[in-house]
Structure 1
Amino acid sequence: MPKSLVVAALFLAIAGCATPPASVHTKDPASSTLQGDPTRPAQAQWIRTELYFSVGPLEGKEGVVSPARWREFLDQEVTSRFPDGFSVFDAYGQWRDHGAKEPERLATKVIVILHENTAKHDADIEAIRLAFKRITGDLSVLRLSQPAVVSF
């Protein structure tokens, strides 16, 4: 048997004995957290960002964002930037413009994104806000960002 084949066979035999990588999920039923996932480091500085989107007046007037259009927006603008996940809540909102006698009563969607505090994520959030403004013509998308303690 040639020496190179012996070396290759020895390498394959040794590699076959290696232990498989540990699962990133806990095997400990007493632990409530995900363990050992290097993409979600415990020491990272996390931010909780909430974005508030008006999807139209409650009275059913013009300007309502349809469920299909909302899903399209999520797929194209939000999921593409935060593929690891986010949450969406239905909400009721009120907004009173300067000088208005009555507030606008609005159907609202709130997106909550837990993300590391990076310039890239900040830019992604601003891109989401701008995209919605372009799509709907709204003047603003409310943003609330604050530090968060996160455990997966």
Structure 2
Amino acid sequence: MHGDAARPAQAQAWIRSELYFAVGNEDGTGIIDDAHWRAFLDAQVTPRFPDGLTVLDGYGQWRFRDGDRLVRQRCKVLVVLHEDTAARRVDIDAIRSAWKRATGHESVLWARQPVEVSF
């Protein structure tokens, strides 16, 4: 594949960002339904990354800072491959902030790593 100026056949200095969004606790509380998730994607994510993204359903656990309480919950994992620029980092932070405002959650985990891409 040859690519074009917007999507070169190979690109350098790209990042794979994974964002982890809690959508429900193991005990069935705090459930964020598919319609709420889709509305969030449409309003906050797609406008910032219109060229593509991947969403995976997940399940995970983490321990509160006090070390006494383990939380098990369903999650959505958003994977976005993007240029490693300040503007893209601002977009990611805006998505995280929007989710926290919309849900009252304390955090959205952001894991990132350099990636080689080819279109």
Instruction: Identify whether the pair has TM-score above 0.5, normalized to the shorter chain.
Output: yes
CA 1:77–1:71: 2 relative to 1, 3 Å: same
Q: How many residues align?
A: 118
- Aligned residue identity for 1:53: F
Superposition RMSD on alpha carbons, in Å? 1.2
Indicate if the aligned counterparts of 2:16 and 2:79 stay in contact, CA closer than 8 A: yes
**1:53-132 correspondence to structure 2 within 5 Å:** 53-61=21-29, 63-132=30-99
Partner SS for 1:129: helix
Partner SS for 2:4: coil
Q: Summarize deviations over 1:10-61 as a string: whole Å, max 9, x none.
A: xxxxxxxxxxxxxxxxxxxxxxxx3132112324311000000000102112
Unaligned runs of 5+ in 2: none
Q: Could you say which residue in structure 2 is the equivalent of 1:137?
A: 104
Q: Could you say which residue in structure 1 is the equivalent of 2:113?
A: 146
Q: Could you say which residue in structure 2 is the equivalent of 1:19?
A: none
Q: State the identity %.
A: 53
Output the TM-score relative to the length of structure 1. 0.74
Partner SS for 1:124: helix
TM-fit CA distance, 1:100: 4.5
Separation in 1, partners of 2:19, 2:54: 11
Output the TM-score relative to the length of structure 2. 0.93
- Answer 1 or 2: higher relative contact order, Cα 8 Å, separation at least 6: 2
Separation in 2, partners of 1:93, 1:48: 20
TM-fit CA distance, 1:107: 0.5
Separation in 2, partners of 1:59, 1:35: 50
TM-fit CA distance, 1:140: 0.5
